[in-house]
Structure 1
Amino acid sequence: MRAKRRAVVLGGAAALALALPMVVVGGGSAQAASCNLTTGPYQRQVEQFLGRPVDGRQSAADCTAIRSFQASHGITPAQGYAGPLTWQTMNTMLAQRAAGRTPNKAGTCPTNRGRIACVDLTRQLSWIQDGATLKYGPVPVRTGKDGTETRTGLKKIYYRSINHWSTIYKVSMPYSQFFDGGIAFHSTTKSMWNPPGSGGCVNMRPADAKAYWNMLGKGEDVYVYGRKPGT
C-alpha cells in the first residue's frame, strides 16, 4: 500500500528571416534591440493575446509588447514580429488556461491505476491524479524538442536523484525522477515556454518539481500522451 502523502491541489516553425525594415525602439541604451515593424501573419491573434488594440497592423507599441513577450520566453529573434513560433507559444498557453481544473476531462490519462502522473505533450501540461481525483496541477511543462521527443506510453518511476547532475548535458537537474531510459521529471530555471524544448526530459518549474518529488515515489506510474506542437 502506498505511503500516504500530503497533496496540494492546487518548437516549431522559426520566425521568418527576411530582409525586413527595422526600427530601434526604446532609447539609446546598449540593450535596446531592433524592432521589426512588418505586420506578421499572426498579427491579430498576437495583438488579442497581449491585450493590444486588434487592428491587424504592426505598430511600434505592438512591436515593443511582442518583443517583451519573446524575450521573456527565449523566443528568437526577439524583434517583435508576430510570426509562427510566437503564436504557437501563445496558442499553447491558451490551451493550458482552457484546461482549468479538469485537465483530464477527455479521460485520456488512466483513472484505474490509483496515483499517476499525467503528461499531455499536446498542451504541454502535467498533473498528478489519484483515480479521477486531481491531486496537483495542472502545471506547464517543457518537453522534448523535435528529434529528442519525450516518448509516449505508460511508464514507471525507476530512479530518483534530488541533486542530479547530467553528464550528457553538463547541467544540474534538481528533483530528478527518471521514468523512461534517461527521461525524467526535473526542475529547470528556463521558461516553460522556451523553444524548441528539452533533450527529452519533462522540465518543470522548481516549485512544481519539488511538489512532484514529495508526492511521487519509485515504482509509481507516469503516463505520457499526445504530440508536442512543432515535433
Structure 2
Amino acid sequence: MPSRTIRRNRAATAAVAALVVVAGIATAGVATADAEAENSEAARQTHAEKQVPGTPCSVSARACVDLETQRAWLIENGAVTHGPVPVASGGAGQETPIGHSFRVYRKEADHTSGEFTTPEGQPSPMPWSVFFADGGVAFHGGDRDRASAGCVKLDAVEAQRFFTDLENGDKVQVLNATTERDERAKLATA
C-alpha cells in the first residue's frame, strides 16, 4: 500500500510541476511580448522609416493604433487622413498584440463573434470588422467603455470609416508610443 501512495504522490507532484512550468511559459510570453515585438525585423524596419507626424507609426502604415493613449488614425501616403479617434483595446490577459507589420486580411460588415455571446446568449456583434492579426483580432464597432478580448473597438461611425477606408493587404501598426519614441531615439544616436 505505501508504494501506491508514493506513486500517486509522485504523479501528483509531476502534474503540479508540469502546470507550473506551463504557467511560467505562458506568463513569460506575455511579459516578453513587447520586447520581442520591438526586437523583430519588422520593428527595426519601422524605426528606420520616417514617422507620421502626430502618431507613433511609420509612413508605410495605413492604420495606426497607439495602445498607450488608446487612439487610432487612418494614414495615406505618410499623412493622417482621419483621427485621432478613441479606441478600446484588449484587457488584462487578452491584450491587443503589438505589431509593426500586420496586414488586413478580411473584412466583414456584419460579423458576429464565434467566441463571445451577449447576455441573451446570442453571438456578440462585431459590426464593420476589419481583421488584421492572427486569432481574429480586428477593428470593429463596439462599446469603448469596456476592454476588448484583443480587438480594437471603435464607435459605430468610426468602425464604418475604418471598414470603408482599409483594404485587404493594407499595413496596420499597433504600437506603444513611448516605446516607439525610445526605440527611434536609440536608432538616431547609434
Q: Which residue of 2 aligns with 1:204?
A: 154
After superposition, give the CA deviation of every residue in 1:16-51 in whole Å (9 maximum; x if it has no partner): xxxxxxxxxxxxxxxxxxxxxxxxxxxxxxxxxxxx
CA distance in 2, matches of 1:108, 1:168: 31
2:168 equivalent to 1:218: yes
Is contact 2:55–2:64 with CA below 8 Å preserved after alignment? no
- TM-superposed CA distance for 1:131, in Å, is 3.0
**Of 79, 98, 109, which aligns to 1:162?**
109
User: CA offsets, 1:112-169, max 9 Å, x none?
Assistant: x2x6100000000000111331111110000000110000112001111110010100
Relative to the length of structure 2, the TM-score reads 0.59
Distance 1:124 1:107, change over 3 A: closer
Give the aligned length.
120
Structure with the greater alpha carbon radius of gyration: 2
Select the residue among 178, 183, 187 that pairs with 2:137.
183
RMSD: 2.1
TM-aligned CA deviation for residue 107 of structure 1? 5.7
Shift of 1:108: 2.9
Output the TM-score relative to the length of structure 1: 0.49
Q: Is the 2:56–2:176 contact (alpha carbons within 8 Å) kept by the matching residues of 1? A: no
The residue aligned with 1:53 is none
Percent of residue pairs identical: 33
Equivalent residue, structure 2, for 1:13:
none
Q: Which runs of 4+ in 1 moved over 4 A?
A: none
The one-character-per-residue Cα deviations of 1:199-227 (angstroms, maximum 9, x if unpaired) are: 00000000000011111111111000018
Residues 139 and 106 from structure 1, CA distance in 2 versus in 1: closer, same or farther, beyond 3 angstroms?
Answer: closer
C-alpha distance in 2 between matches for 1:107 and 1:165: 31
Residue 104 of structure 1 and its aligned partner are, at CA, apart by: 4.7
CA contact (8 A) 2:53 2:79 kept: no
Q: Which structure: greater strand fraction?
A: 2
